[in-house]
Structure 1
Amino acid sequence: MAEDLLIIKDASKEEKYKSIIPQIEALVTGETDGIANMANVCAALKEQFNWFWVGFYLVKNDELVLGPFQGPVACTRIRKGKGVCGTSWQKKETLVVPNVDEFPGHIACASASKSEIVLPLIKNNEVWGVLDVDSEYLAHFDDIDALYLNKILEFIHG
């Protein structure tokens, strides 16, 4: 596939996902390098949604370690059970946080981040990473994001 994406601006959130998902699938299909695929997923999502930050953290030993991302510099390591990412890892579940300042133990990597969604990447019932998305707006993420981001994660393999 060509590296150019068709980005739609004036559409609903769901229409934007429905447009970008087949493009992401085409980008990663046939590419066996997981890091390259994660990098392209981050870039495509950042281009389509203009989120404050989007990226992956990968489980290495007993920590999440920063992987491919788009946005300002980020926390490099997160312990299991700490912050939104570490809690998603520990619970093996997607977390939608409307206001990060109200999340117990939130790790403020960037003060501009106001809401967050974190989705675990699971293989053989083990979390091997998480997708973390931050917005500078409160209550930015919802069940639509959770649904479609999980569909996108089906294309990513650890």
Structure 2
Amino acid sequence: MINDSLGHDHGDILLRSVSERATARLREFEMLARFGGDEFVLVLPRVEDSREVEIVAEKVIDVFSRPFLLDDLEVYVTSSIGIALYPEDGENKTNLLKNADMAMYRAKESGRNRFQFFTQSMNRELNRRQDLEIRLRQALQLEQFGLHYQPQLDL
């Protein structure tokens, strides 16, 4: 939205500001990288339990609680954080990123400025939706849908 309304220069300033603020809140062994667009990946090695991850996620959300200054303009942005844990949510970076992304979209659906841990039920729901879409497309191709008219009368 920033790029569309204020231009890409302001979007770049915002991305740098987000990165600087977030990095300042991290411990030296934690790594933040821009993944693309307005998405970042945060790698937390040495995690003992999920509560540690929650604390870091809350710190990141706090980074967005204050406005960002773009030239002379204050802008407010939100964050949605998806969390996937190694090895239970994936044993390689591809699966971890895919599952974290799925959790991030669930966080967005829940109202933004929040975090969401990946759960296997998210994966099952995605698979169910994909299966339904495939079956609906096949039914359209095979002309298995019919239209029925049901008049409604108010006597």
**TM above 0.5:** no
Structure with bigger strand share is: 1
Identify which of structures 1 and 2 has the higher relative contact order when contacts are C-alpha pairs closer than 8 Å and 6+ apart. Answer: 1
Q: TM-score, normalised by structure 1?
A: 0.30
TM-score (norm 2): 0.30
Larger radius of gyration: 2
Which of the pair is proportionally richer in helix? 2
